[in-house]
Amino acid sequence: MRAGSSILITGASSGIGLALALHLARQGHQVFAGVRQDRDAEVLRARSKGRITPLRLDVTEASSIEQALLAVTTKTHGKLDVLVNNAGVAFSCPLEMTSQAELSQLMNVNVLGTFAVTRACLPLLRETQGRIVNISSISGVFAAPGLTAYVASKHAVEGMTAALRLEMTPHGVKVCSIAPGKIDTPIWNKALDTSGALSEQHTGELQSIYRPLLDFYKRYASQDVATPMDAVLAAADQALAARHPRARYIVGRQAKLRACLNWLPTRWRELLVLRAILSNVPRP
């Protein structure tokens, strides 16, 4: 990727999106950062000393996507070199305790929003033979119980990435994903709050049935060591600089271990996962 490339990042208000926007702006690129609130735009301007252009961007609204792209093309004379699809929401919850409203919101942002922004940007990216980097998750590779909706959404992103990578190869557009495990960002606190709110909406019987899963993810969010953000930034640098980027960059030791579990026979893998979840459940 040449110096001064134009880059659009969705979901840049916090976490990985914010860190990537600041990182790429420091490298001298022209960064357009999608945010949903004015206060997030002001934070970006202040922290980047004006080197980042914040854009009001709701990936679930067609008019918002159109306006954001118009702002990008106006400032770049119609050029876009890189799209980073980062916007996403997360929570852990068994499917039976996941409301249709929460499921729709998650799918609208993580899946339909990613598809919509990508579709809108493809004409520009074909023109520059640019790149698409989808921020996925190890949950797009490894299916864990208690994350059913999130796993489904990230598997969809990984599927889109794999198919689009082939569609775009004849046009010179590089497509890849970055699949982190637990990264040191506020998303886990947000996810824990959402998960707690969802579980409290249900009867004591359901909470009792799924208590091992609910407790497991509370421990995971609060106790498991997170991979530093620098590891994600390093993966992004590789994805953007490589002449032939990998299809997927898995980030974090635990994420890589989970990916390796997919090589095991299904029955063995399932037994290992269930053992980890039930290890702290008192025996009768």
The whole-angstrom separation of Cα 127 and Cα 171 is 9
- For the record, the structure tokens of 24 come out as 């790429």
Residue pointed to by tokens 């982190």? 180
Q: Give Cα 159 distance to the centre of its chain.
A: 14
Dihedral sign from CA coordinates of 210, 212, 215, 219: negative
* Secondary structure of 63-104 in HEC code, one letter for each residue: HHHHHHHHHHHHHHCCCCCEEEECCCCCCCCCHHHCCHHHHH
Which of 150, 210, 220, 249 does the annotation list as catalytic?
150
The DSSP bridge partners found for residue 151 are none
Q: Which residues contact 132 (CB under 8 A, 6 or more apart)?
A: 82, 83, 84, 85, 118, 121, 125, 161, 164, 168, 173, 174, 175, 176
Both tokens of 227, joined, read 């991979």
| 217 belongs to the catalytic site | no
How far apart CA 75 and CA 78 sit, in angstroms, is: 8
Residues classed as catalytic? 150
